[in-house]
Amino acid sequence: MRRSLLFVLMLLVLAVSALVAQDLTLPMKSGSVKFAVIGDTGTGDKHQLAVAKQLAATRAKFPFEFVIMVGDNIYGGNSARDYDRKFAIPYKPLLDANIKFYAALGNHDDPSERYYKPFNMSGERYYTFKPADGVRFFALDSNYMDEMQLKWLDEQLATSGSEWKIAFFHHPPYSSGETHGSNETLRTQLEPRFVKAGVNVVLTGHEHFYERIKPQKGIAYFITGSSAKLREGNITQTELTAKGFDSGYTFMVVEIVGNDLYYQAITDTGKIVDSGRVQRVGKVEPTPNRTAQPVVATGGSDKKTPSKPVK
């Protein structure tokens, strides 16, 4: 009898410790900048709803103030019903709580989405916003990176001070995805600008999985394209991956405290699949191989999930 009790007790302890291990571990400091990241969301199906539900549940523990959308916000048509079914209804609890969403355009998005007020794009295909002192976001339209947009980006980056500079757009410049892979034509245009101006973090989607890329030229790259769609087993083994997860639907939560940016990737069932920290080094002069505000290697376990070998 005693042995049985002891066994049950041990099981309980193990279960509790497992739960604790999966709980949010961000600093959760008051006054920090807290946000979530979702990508490739606009399906209106049960997977989007499951992620949306988990996102809302996570906010009860981690009160993020806004959500970054990295594109493919509305798949298929663009009728009022589509906007409702694929955005307004799934995220209703967050919208009701006055959580702001900031969208970038994906290849499945009609550019007219920029006029949809809840996307906070101010009628522009690319825009910048500053949610708090010391942090600036740059939303880009990676579908159409023309000279006008690049000029705008150069100007915005040049006038941005010594803030955290976070760019977000749809197509990943680095990716281990079998379906798409790195978008090198885009990278050729953006990376030198990011390095020169000291962009710290780049958030993208398009690939239907989660991947944290090993810092490239001092910049941390994340792919969060599985907030409603999933390509299981699509991550191939490359030297780029710091952490990959392609067997479940995910979103990210992020917290910026001073020179540290903490992140966690969470599944629709609430399991934490990646966590760590991006540390920003103080302002330094840029060199050809070093950004103006380099990040050091991201923390967190750099362990790969089982993935397909390179073909």
**How buried is residue 256: exposed, middle or buried, by Cβ count under 10 Å (0-12/13-18/19+)?**
buried
Q: Quote the tokens at residue 145.
A: 């990176």
* Part in contact with another protein (CB under 8 A); list of ranges 20-28, 141-149, 195-203, 302-310: 141-149
Residue 147 is a binding residue for another protein (CB under 8 A): yes
Total number of residues shown for the chain: 311
* Part in contact with another protein (CB under 8 A); list of ranges 41-49, 136-144, 153-161, 261-269: 136-144
Q: What angle in degrees, to the nearest 10, is found between the helix axes of 147-159 and 184-197?
A: 20
Count of positions on this chain that bind another protein (CB under 8 A): 38
* Part in contact with another protein (CB under 8 A); list of ranges 13-21, 56-64, 80-88, 295-303: 80-88
Residue 192 is a binding residue for another protein (CB under 8 A): no
Residue 227 DSSP code: S
Q: How far is the CB of 87 from another protein (least distance, A)?
A: 9
Among 148, 158, 296, 310, binds another protein (CB under 8 A): 148
Residue 161 is a binding residue for another protein (CB under 8 A): no
The answer to whether 204 and 183 are in contact (CB under 8 A) is: no
CA distance 174 to 298: 16
* Part in contact with another protein (CB under 8 A); list of ranges 1-9, 44-52, 60-68, 138-146: 138-146
The answer to whether 236 and 296 are in contact (CB under 8 A) is: no
Helix (H, G, I), strand (E, B) or coil at 14: helix
Which stretches of the chain bind another protein, using CB under 8 A? 75-80, 82-84, 107-113, 115-118, 122-123, 142-148, 150, 171, 180, 183-186, 188-189
